[in-house]
Every structure is written in structure tokens, then in C-alpha cells.
Amino acid sequence: MIKNFTKKENILEITGWPFRLLMSAIDVLMRPIQKIVGINGMPYIFLLPNLFFFGLFVIIPLGINLLFSFTGGTELYVENRPFVGDKQYQFLFDCENYLEPNSCNEDLFWRGVYNTITFVFFQVGFMIIFSLITALILNKKIIGRSFFRSVFFFPVLLSPVVVGVIWKWILLRNGLLNSFIENFGGSKVLFLTEPTWAMFWVVFVSIWAHMGFYTLIILAGLQAIPPNLYEAAEMDGTKRERIFWRITLPLLWPNLLVVIILALIKGVQTFDEIYVLTGGGPGTSTSLIVQYIYTTGFAAAGAVQNFGLAAAASMILGIVLLVLTLIQLYLGWSKEDKKQDI
């Protein structure tokens, strides 16, 4: 036994020398830096690579996009485009009645806004309800609990494009669902060419694809609730409905708030699965704000690509997402402060 252990030590010592050599080289490089910034400044040094890539792929493109939103013309490079000030924003907000998209200069933008609001309202609302119900069931001691947790989370692992293709095959005129309806004597339903049905299915598919992620977050919150609270309530003969409203929901509310904000951010950004599933149709009935930005800037069929207008619309969307993100951060900090107080 001792000999085997010694052999393992020798193998590790032989195979580990490249790693030790690398770490020694890093140590030599980092010691002078540590002397300059001090031990407390070293965490910021280790953050520099992340900050570099964040600036390279987020901050710089954001700045370029902001510059584009103040320019016009069809040139690709900012320096070759004429400066137009806030005309792109004025054009987007030029409406006689904001509640009536047809009265706006850029009616497609406002149709995208109202479609996004409709989509987010129903998608987030029903997804929170279904995720909460699912988490409550999976939190109980049921047979195959681990299996069902995996099943509900599986769609989250799929690419949005794959999700859109799968459900398009199911919902086409000659798709799986219509074949099933015909087998029971029904007639085919045009799920993707009737506006109401199309919006219903994009909401349904989005909930199906993303519900597992939020279910796990809520489930983690449920498991963090002390069991002795439920035991005390049962000993007092409290009804299950009262336990839910008086114990479960109040203690779960911080998690639910985070889930709501995350779902709102994700809902506003939705594009891939809807674009594959319906293409924004029929007409513009399922075209969301992100698709408007994409179409205006890159895929305007038979029209000039308007990078400046698309950039302005994306900056407006970015402000909305920034506000939602700040709310999420505030809720996260409030949750941490409450834990420290306890």
C-alpha cells in the first residue's frame, strides 16, 4: 500500500513539473506588481483581463453604436457618415398618437414596441406562475423527483434556433399537431398564419424553452426556507393554503422578484426562436423590437439598410434593459443586506 502511494507521488511529481514551472514564472512576474499595488490591490490586477475583454466586446461596440445613432446615410464606416444629430430619435418618436402605430412615421417600430409589451406581459406572467407551481411540486418528496427536474431543465440546454425549428415542424399546416387533430376527425388549423394563434404559440414556445431555468431558481429559494417553520405550522393545524400565503410566499418573494426581473430582461431580448418560428408574421403580428432592429439594420428586403435608425432603436432598447438590470442589482443588494442583518 505504501509502495503504491509512493509510486503515485512520483508520477505526480514527474507529470506536474510543467505546471510548477508555469506557476513559478507567473510568481516572478506578479511579485513586482504586488510590491507596487499592495496585497489589497491584487484582486483588481486579476480582474484586468476580464475588464479588457468586457471593454473590447461590450463598451467599445456600445460607443460605436451610439455614434451610429447620430449619423445618417448608407456608408458602413462612422467617419464616412454625415452627422444628423438627434434626427433618428425624432423620427422614431414622431407620432400623432403613440397608442396608434399607424399615426407614427415609423409605424413598424411602434408595432414592435406594442408586440414586445404584449409578448412580455403574457410570457413573463404565465412563466412565473407555471415555474412556481412546478417548483412547489418538485420540492415535495415525489417518486422520480430528480428525473423530472432534469426533464424540465432540458429545453434550457437547447439552442433557440433548434427550439424554433422543432416547434415549426410541429405547428406547420401539415405538421405533427395538425396530423394529430385530423386523426381525431378535426380540421387543420393554421397556427402560424393567423395572428392570434401565432402570438399564442410564440408565447407558449418561449415559456416551454425557458421555464426550467426559473423553476430551478425558485426551487433553490424553496429549499432555503427552514423546515421547522412548516413543522410548527402543521403542529398548530394551519391549513396548506394559509401556509403558502403566510410562510412560503413571503419568504420566497425576494427570489421571485429576481426571477421576474431576469424574465423581463430575457423577454425583451427574445428574437431567435420567434424569428425561426414565425419570421415575425403573419405580417408584423409577432415582430418584436429586436427583430425590427435586425431588419432595419441588416435584412431590409428591397430597402436601403438604415444603420443609424437601427442604432437609435437599439439604444432605446438598451436604456430599457439598463433600467431593468439596475433594478435587479438593487434587489440583489437588498437581499444580501437583509441576510447580513439576520
Q: What is the pLDDT of residue 58?
A: 87
Measured CA to CA in angstroms, residue 232 lies from 228, 247, 251 at distances of 6, 11, 16
Reported as a single tens digit per residue, the pLDDT across 267-303 is: 998 999 999 999 888 888 999 999 999 988 887 655 6
- Name the grid cell of 237: 393545524
Collapsing DSSP states into helix, strand and coil, what is residue 71? strand
For Cα atoms 64, 66, 72, give the angle at the middle one, nearest 5 degrees. Answer: 95
Stretch 174-185: mean pLDDT: 87
User: What are the chain's domains?
Assistant: 99-341 (1.10.3720.10)
Its pTM stands at 0.82
Reported as a single tens digit per residue, the pLDDT across 302-337 is: 567 888 999 999 999 989 888 888 887 787 676 656
- DSSP states of 139-165: TS--TTHHHHHHHHHHHHHS-HHHHHH
Percent of the chain scoring above 70 in pLDDT = 91
- Is pLDDT larger for residue 301 or for residue 159? 159
| Residue 87 pLDDT greater than 80, yes or no | yes
Stretch 208-223: mean pLDDT: 91
| Residue 73 pLDDT greater than 50, yes or no | yes
